[in-house]
Amino acid sequence: MVRSLWVAALATLAVFPVACGSAAPADDQDGASGEVVVFAAASLTETFTELGRRFEEANPGTTVTFNFAGSSSLAKQIVEGAPVDVFASASPANMEQVTETDAVSGEPTVFVRNRLEIAVPAGNPGDVTGIADFADEDRTIALCAEEVPCGAAARKALDAAGVTAAPDTLERDVKAVLTKVELGEVDAALVYRTDVRAADDTVEGIAFPESERAVNDYPIATMAEAPNTEGARAFVDFVLSDAGRSVLTDAGFDGP
């Protein structure tokens, strides 16, 4: 059984353990054992939880402990010395914050890309039809704060559309934005299309052409001071493997 663990330096942040399962194991990763601590962008929650489960199954004796949050928050805590083996960011800019402090071992690798969709509650009660509706002050709008990758991407998309948004709330990460939509607290939001898919029937997605101007690259890297160097390398290799890429693309991510 997978253990649930709080990273000591981050007691105020939620850490999501990987659940046990029965998927067919992949080939064992040489040298993988013990706990592997992975800091990953909030938009990777579902896919990395699944990858962690499969990695554990392929490597008996390993435990993957995740900390999912906004990439900017994760980068800040890594720079401040939080113990971590792997960092997967939703933006090269946040990865660069970490690499500039020599906290990364080797060069980060872009492993997927992601794009935005308009998310509306089931049934689209606000009658939202496109990105232009984000300027309508009569509609309730949620966006990510601009310091996190989904917020920076939203700004690019809105600028490309020539739309000045009138957001009613700015959230700390994409999952917080999605929750507003799922609860029907807003008429529309900009989230990643992978989050729309993960929300199943509670949220509807509306594609819009300007999203092509705001595609996010997701880099992954092992940490120079990783407590579990071999485990970190094995987990990154697993994410980059054909099996790993299949999980990610099935969830709606684009290949690098």
Mean pLDDT of 222-231: 96
Mean pLDDT value of segment 152-176: 96
pLDDT of residue 30: 55
Most confident by average pLDDT, 22-26, 200-204, 230-234: 230-234
User: How far apart are alpha carbons 164 and 75 in whole angstroms?
Assistant: 29
Is pLDDT of 2 > 90? no
Q: Is the pLDDT of residue 181 over 80?
A: yes
Mean pLDDT of the chain: 89
Q: What b/e sequence results for 57-92 when a residue is b if at least 16 CB atoms lie within 10 Å of its CB, and e otherwise?
A: bbbeebbbbbbbbbbbbbbbbbeeebbbbbbbbbbb
d(Cα 145, Cα 173) in Å, to the nearest integer?
7
Distance CA(225)–CA(104), nearest Å, equals: 8
Give the residue among 187, 205, 176 at the shortest CA–CA distance from 133.
187
Strand partners, 203: 121
- The predicted-structure confidence for 45-62, as pLDDT tens digits, reads as follows 999 999 999 999 999 999
Greater confidence (138 vs 7) lies with 138
CB neighbour list of residue 11: distance below 8 Å, 6 or more residues apart = none
Q: What is the mean pLDDT of residues 206-211?
A: 95
pLDDT digits (tens, 9 = 90+) for 84-105: 999 999 999 999 999 999 999 9
Mean pLDDT of 13-39: 57
The pLDDT, as a whole number, for residue 201 is 86
The pLDDT score that the predictor gives to residue 220 is 98
Q: What is the average pLDDT across 227-246?
A: 97
Residues 6+ apart with CB under 8 A from 54: 21, 23, 25, 26, 238, 243, 247
Structural domains of the chain, ranges and CATH numbers in brackets: 8-113+217-250 (3.40.190.10), 116-213 (3.40.190.10)
